[in-house]
Structure 1
Amino acid sequence: MNVTVIVPSYNGGNLWKQSACLLAEQIPSLRVKVIDSSSEDDTREIAQGFGFEVEQIDQKDFDHGGTRSYSLEDVNTEFVVFLTQDVLLEGKDAIAFLVSVFDKDPEIVCAYGCQLPHVDANPLAQHARYNSYKPDSYVTSLTDDFPTGFRKAFLSNSFAAYRVDFLRSIGGFPRHLILGEDAYVAAKALVANKKVAYVAEAKVRHSHNYSVIQEFKRYFDIGVFHSTQSWMIDELGSVEGEGVKFAVEQLRYVCKVKKHHWLILSIFTSMAKFIGYKLGKKHQMLGVKLSRKLSMYKSYWNRV
């Protein structure tokens, strides 16, 4: 297929070894580029062992959007698929399923697949995946009724595909975003009257067992992202109320799977997300020094 796969990496460990093995079983002669941020383990050697192209960059130079845009410079395929090093592809046709959605409508310019929780995922991580990745596929535009609001721009570069010409037409992924370069591009597509697709048949395993503190830091960064990219909320709609809905559904899920000892942690996690998000939106009042301490992606603040 006319596709290049790009994987940013850093100290991928054993999970990357599994991920690379599954990636190598995909489309024959698939070009895979690994952009490695100077790993200190055998991440690069694993990639080379599977015949992947490897380019090393300095760790300090990694940028969620900028590094992915840089990786596009020598791509001459029609489509590009981005993966993260901790994704385990489900089935040998996962990438083919994802990219095939572009054949259905030329207005579809970006798409993402279904992320299932890893086998060791705790109940909160399980719910996060089942809540975000439903069984039914969809294609949406700015005028479609589903999904609603900001959710229209949901996209994850852990397993996402793009038309390369569209990415280049908007200047690629933005440089120096704290996170959310994938949602940014999806929003750009929507306001340009293009379409975003979710392909439920294209599946991977991907989840994180975050602690309460890690969730606080992650949602602080989400708050920073939303405050610095307020145009997205202006164009698509507010995210207010989504957090409460998610927290209630999380409690219901914990009860459904009979993991009642997770109820208290579920409540504290939801509180941490809410407080972190609100503080992130006010990061300018907090200043760079304090914001760096509260943030998960601390290198972002070196360039603020």
Structure 2
Amino acid sequence: MSTLKVACVIPTYNGRRDLERLLDSLDRQTAVFDTLVVDSSSSDGTFELAESRCPNVLRIDSRDFNHGGTRQMMVERHPEYDVYVFMTQDAYLEDPEALANIAWPFTDTRIGAVCGRQLAHLDASPLAEHARLFNYPPTSQVKSLEDAPRLGIKTAFASNSFCAYRREALMQVGGFPQHVILSEDMYVAAKMLMAGWKVAYEGSACCRHSHNYTLWEEFRRYFDIGVFHAREPWIRQTFGGAGGEGLRYVLSELKFLGAKRLSAWPGSFLRNAVKLFAYKLSQQERHLPRALKKRLGMYKRYWDSPYA
């Protein structure tokens, strides 16, 4: 960590309370780093809070925000860093060693990205809690392209809520893409793996982050995920599909709920069916009118962009 110059980059929009909690957790870190905030013209005091606590704050028009493009803009504006830790405003670091722990794997010069572990928020629903337990285990792992036959698409798993990138590797693969609706994190991780880099998952680097989505929000989220995969078929062609991961997830969720929460089982089945339907529907998005896709998806502004 001492030989690497690290920046923590946070895109924000109307999340003052969340940002305050995140900044408080950053203040407690033992690591040496700089904080960079890019705010999409918030109207709730988020920008003013960031300015009062961070020396590097950029304000952009909300219409100019792009999941990949805005992050890449920050990388290009600040070329002096070796590692960029990207976080979302609704996450916060679990302990004072979190940033140090997500940065230390970069001592291996073959590692291009490190994804941290996400723990559910303290007010998370049982289903939201299980999602974090299933997708973010405590065991660390280093993955390469050779792991694709065993791990499938999870080889390239990454999350923009708490993920770090080596500048050299990021720039080698062309940086974050502007044209994707979301999952710019998986896109970059996949490109790095294909270029010969390794991607790490660090179970000791922990943040709190989860969502208590409604059924409709789950549908919209998975519709957007499906759009991403439909438009980037090379990822599944290279790494394979989920390989039965969906069934394992459902069985794991039912086991987590257990006999004491049998009343939650119907909701579990319904929620997973909704996610599957949304994903399958969006695989055919090329045949759907843009106005309908805008209504069905979560990231509506994408459909007004030149990439839609």
Number of residue equivalences: 302
Alpha-carbon distance between aligned partners in 1 of 2:277 and 2:55, rounded to the nearest angstrom: 42
Which residue, 280, 292, 295 being the options, matches 2:294? 292
Alpha-carbon distance between aligned partners in 1 of 2:64 and 2:158, rounded to the nearest angstrom: 24
The sequence identity of aligned pairs, in percent, is 42
What is the letter of the counterpart of residue 275 of structure 1? F
Alpha-carbon distance between aligned partners in 2 of 1:49 and 1:29, rounded to the nearest angstrom: 20
The aligned residue for residue 4 of structure 1 is: 7
The aligned residue for residue 260 of structure 1 is: 262
**1:24, 1:50 within 8 Å by CA — same for their partners in 2?**
no
Alpha-carbon distance between aligned partners in 2 of 1:124 and 1:296, rounded to the nearest angstrom: 20
The aligned residue for residue 274 of structure 1 is: 276
Per-residue CA deviations over 1:267-303 (Å, capped at 9, x if unaligned) read: 1100110100001111111121111111011111112
Which residue, 46, 49, 52 being the options, matches 1:49? 52
Aligned-residue offset at 1:52: 4.0
Q: Which 4+ residue blocks in structure 1 deviate beyond 6 angstroms?
A: none
**2:31, 2:99 within 8 Å by CA — same for their partners in 1?**
no
Indicate the larger mover: 39-48 or 24-33.
24-33
CA RMSD of aligned residues (A): 1.5
The aligned residue for residue 169 of structure 1 is: 172
Alpha-carbon distance between aligned partners in 1 of 2:217 and 2:111, rounded to the nearest angstrom: 34
Aligned-residue offset at 1:88: 1.3
The aligned residue for residue 96 of structure 1 is: 100
- C-alpha spacing 1:297/1:145, structure 2 compared with 1 (3 Å): closer
Alpha-carbon distance between aligned partners in 2 of 1:21 and 1:146, rounded to the nearest angstrom: 41
What is the letter of the counterpart of residue 295 of structure 2? K
Map 1:95-134 → 2, pairs under 5 A:
95-103=99-107, 105-134=108-137
Structure 2 unaligned regions, length at least 5: none
Alpha-carbon distance between aligned partners in 2 of 1:52 and 1:215, rounded to the nearest angstrom: 37
What is the letter of the counterpart of residue 282 of structure 1? Q
Using structure 1 for the length normalisation, give the TM-score. Answer: 0.95
Aligned-residue offset at 1:28: 6.1
Structure 1 unaligned regions, length at least 5: none
Per-residue CA deviations over 1:230-274 (Å, capped at 9, x if unaligned) read: 000011001253222212221221116x33332221111001101
Map 1:101-250 → 2, pairs under 5 A:
101-103=105-107, 105-144=108-147, 148-239=151-242, 241-250=244-253
What is the letter of the counterpart of residue 161 of structure 1? A
Using structure 2 for the length normalisation, give the TM-score. Answer: 0.94
